């Protein structure tokens, strides 16, 4: 499944967007109505829901609480899954604010949903790691978590079984990454092109499936190789990123709190020096400008 919001024209739609106050009042019969579902889709088609956490996060939280409540009485109701897709769609756009269990679930079970919904996953990962710049150890841990999630992903690309080391296996992302591994040394585009040209498994896929798999491999290489250079550049002060403020850190649970069941880290307490507020630097990019505007 996928959400296609490109066909939504906010200026031509007659239905009104869903308000935050409305969400708790909906019952299961309301959610079954096509006009209600369309109003939800119209709501998240507003670009502000993709870029502004202060708008998207309360929406995610309210809709999630409603679905959890309804699922107690209607555990097998299929309409609930359609609304869960809306939540996942927004979570992919706001990865930094998600608990690690959610990030793991997104990349282990719903990556294809995101790609088919035309979400720029690589762009969202870049934004995630920029937000994590205040603690490079957290950055590395999150990267490793996502890489492990991809290596365990059981979403299927293609229908025919693929052959790996003379064994026939199901065509899930986990196995496609194993098929790609012999061609992979530095994660360069030329290596992916070599894989495309020589892999008999890849040649069996349909064109749309090939496109999706190539996106998966590019994301995999980006996480494994491209970020190594970026991390080194930040650590050696070759790249300067806007500092995360105490306001942001307080508003988001610490990584240690979120990852207690996923990532084991030494129990160390580091006292951080509190520095007086400084005047924001002049933004050099659209992303930095947006960052400082939200801070105001």
41: closest CA among 52, 29, 49?
Answer: 49
The answer to whether residue 281 scores a pLDDT higher than 70 is no
CA distance 155 to 152: 9
Q: To the nearest whole number, what is the mean pLDDT of the chain?
A: 81
Residue 192 belongs to some domain of the structure: no
Residue 277 belongs to some domain of the structure: no
CA distance 152 to 163: 18
Question: Mean pLDDT throughout 213-238?
Answer: 77
pLDDT reported for residue 244: 42
Hey, how many other C-beta atoms are within 10 angstroms of the C-beta on 211?
11
CA distance 44 to 271: 41
Among 59-63, 221-225, 279-283, the range of highest mean pLDDT: 59-63
Residue 184 belongs to some domain of the structure: no
Among 12-21, 125-134, 222-231, the range of highest mean pLDDT: 12-21
- What's the farthest any 2 CA atoms get from each other in the chain? 63
pLDDT reported for residue 9: 72
Residue 37 belongs to some domain of the structure: yes
pLDDT tens-digit map of 136-173: 557 778 889 999 999 999 999 999 999 998 899 999 99
CA distance 146 to 31: 33
Hey, how many other C-beta atoms are within 10 angstroms of the C-beta on 138?
19
Residue 183 belongs to some domain of the structure: no
The answer to whether residue 190 scores a pLDDT higher than 70 is yes
Residue 22 belongs to some domain of the structure: yes
Domains in the chain, number:
1
| Polymer length in residues for the chain | 296
Residue 55 belongs to some domain of the structure: yes
pLDDT reported for residue 242: 47
List alpha helices for 12-160, DSSP H.
Answer: 28-32, 34-44, 48-51, 53-73, 79-93, 100-109, 111-116, 121-131, 136-151
Residue 73 belongs to some domain of the structure: yes
- Residue 258 pLDDT class (50, 70, 90 cuts): very low
- Residue 205 pLDDT class (50, 70, 90 cuts): very high
Q: What residues make up the domain containing 87?
A: 1-93
pLDDT tens-digit map of 82-125: 999 999 999 999 998 999 999 999 999 999 999 999 999 999 99
């Amino acid at each position: 499944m996928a959400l296609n919001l490109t066909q939504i024209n906010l200026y031509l739609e007659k239905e009104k967007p869903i308000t935050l106050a409305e969400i708790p009042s909906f019952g299961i019969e309301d959610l079954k109505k096509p006009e209600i579902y369309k109003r939800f889709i119209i709501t998240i088609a507003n670009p502000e829901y993709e870029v502004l956490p202060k708008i998207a996060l309360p929406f995610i939280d309210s809709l999630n609480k409603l679905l959890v409540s309804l699922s107690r009485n209607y555990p097998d109701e299929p309409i609930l899954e359609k609304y869960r897709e809306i939540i996942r769609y927004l979570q992919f756009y706001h990865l930094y604010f998600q608990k690690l269990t959610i990030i793991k679930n997104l990349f282990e079970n719903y990556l294809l949903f995101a790609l088919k919904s035309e979400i720029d996953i690589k762009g969202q990962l870049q934004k995630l790691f920029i937000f994590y710049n205040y603690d490079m150890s957290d950055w590395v841990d999150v990267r490793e978590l996502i890489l492990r999630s991809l290596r365990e992903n059981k979403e299927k690309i293609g229908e025919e079984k693929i052959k790996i080391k003379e064994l026939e296996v199901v065509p899930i992302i986990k196995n496609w990454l194993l098929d790609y591994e012999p061609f992979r040394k530095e994660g360069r585009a030329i290596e992916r092109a070599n894989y495309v040209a020589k892999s008999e498994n890849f040649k069996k896929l349909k064109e749309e499936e090939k496109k999706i798999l190539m996106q998966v491999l590019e994301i995999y290489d980006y996480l494994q190789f491209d970020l190594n250079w970026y991390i080194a550049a930040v650590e050696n002060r070759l790249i300067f990123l806007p500092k995360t403020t105490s306001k942001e850190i307080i508003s988001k649970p610490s990584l240690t709190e979120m990852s207690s069941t996923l990532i084991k880290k030494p129990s160390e307490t580091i006292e951080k020096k509190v520095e007086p507020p400084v005047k924001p630097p002049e933004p050099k990019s659209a992303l930095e400008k947006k960052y400082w505007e939200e801070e105001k």
